[in-house]
Structure 1
């Protein structure tokens, strides 16, 4: 297990994080450039080596109901990778995290493009916006109802 000082040194390598001291000698690290309400990347790093890193946007980690992963027993490379992934997940829009760009055709060889963008899913005919949808399922249902199939 890494010591508090070793964990602190790894986390302080990330210059985009702001260190904030809290009670009982614990330290938090905030990512002020987060695109989301969540800014606390490292939570309550304690002198005993315990602490948490936010992984609520990550699929590869088992997080608690707050999206936090306990880093008590992490090795240096594991901690570095988790903090880096946490920052990346808070710096990317949903469209950047899970891009969608699909072409759909109908029986008349007309094509439409389904694209995930900041505000949801948009359907385009060339450069003209044909529709905006809150979910992929809504957009796909629209295209199917209009006689289009994904290529």
Structure 2
């Protein structure tokens, strides 16, 4: 397990994050450029070893109800990876590349594909175009309102 100081050094190595000391010796790491309401990438890093990273928009992580993952036992590589993915997920449109695609599913396992082409986000059901959006945030909001989520 990384020490508190090692975790802080890793978090502070990301110039996009702003350190904020909070109560009881805990430290948060704020990402001001987040395109969604969530601004804390790192939350309640504590000398006892606990610390949380927001992964609510990142696939492949089991999160708590607020979208955080406990990184207490993470290695340096694992911590760096989840922080990079968290920042990328909160950056929104800026991380999309031409032809990039995301799969979204509803509770009945229906699948929609969101694809970025020509500075637009297109929503497909199979080969059928369902909708088009000017921003990723619009597409994500629509999909969530319709009961879809990413895996």
> Is the contact made by 2:57 and 2:86 (CA closer than 8 Å) also made in structure 1?
yes
TM-score (norm 2): 0.67
Local SS of the residue matching 1:63: coil
Structure 2 runs not aligned, ≥5 long? 103-113, 147-151
Deviates more, 1:38-47 or 1:92-101: 92-101
Match of 1:26 in 2: 26
Distance in 1, Cα, partners of 2:2 & 2:59: 24
What is the 5 A alignment of 1:63-78? 63-78=63-78
- Quick check: which has more Rg, 1 or 2? 1
Match of 2:80 in 1: 80
Distance in 1, Cα, partners of 2:65 & 2:26: 21
Residue 36 in 1 paired to residue 36 in 2?
yes
Q: CA RMSD in A?
A: 2.8
TM-score (norm 1): 0.67
